[in-house]
Amino acid sequence: MNIKKNVLLIILFITTLIPNCIQASINQNINNVSQQHVTHKKHIIEFFSFLCPRCYKFFIITNNKKSISSKYIITKYHVSTTNSELNMLASYNWVIAQALNVEDQVIQPLFEGIQNNTIYDYPTMKKAFINAATNINEQQYDAAWDSFLIKGLFMQQDKLIEHYKISNLPAFVINTNIISMNNILNNCKKNCLANILKLINKSYTYKNINI
């Protein structure tokens, strides 16, 4: 995608501005992105919000499920559904997690903390992030928070969300098709994962699916 190429250009352009304490982690993340492009797995963009109860339900259903990870590579982007400070903090922290390649480590603690109201401001979110992220200390977190890289990626994420005009969460983008999971999540009582997989697979066959 052109957007992903632009992100990599930003990374390369301002590499010298990033503190050494986080540079190694960011370089590893770039390598992971490059390796994803040579895989035979299908690529999916997922839009979610830590403040969205349906997104939390979707995470619980799909987290660490081999039936998904064996077929698909999912890149997650956090959507600021409101202009609240907590929502903006969540989006910014997710960009930090992406840059440091610790998304899998922090996503569940951030979801649980925000949904259970134990994360409600900058200090509580920062504490939860550092506690969950292996080998990321307060100094590294602060360096990432203040870096031009993170600010650039944050702006790029907003542009991506604006481009797809995401309104209902959680949502997937597959081959430019926007797929909302609302109907499945609101109505399924059993076999939710199977229904989700069926919808994802179907989206590779039919265009403009928006349920």
Classify 2-9+43-203 by CATH class. Answer: alpha beta
Q: What's the predicted TM-score (pTM) here?
A: 0.78
Q: Is 144 left (phi over 0), alpha (psi -120 to 50) or beta?
A: alpha
How high is the pLDDT of residue 42?
A: 80
Q: What token pair was written down for 20?
A: 């050494």
**16-50: per-residue pLDDT in tens?**
444 544 545 544 554 554 454 445 678 889 999 99
How high is the pLDDT of residue 203?
A: 76
Question: What are the extents of the domains in the chain?
Answer: 2-9+43-203
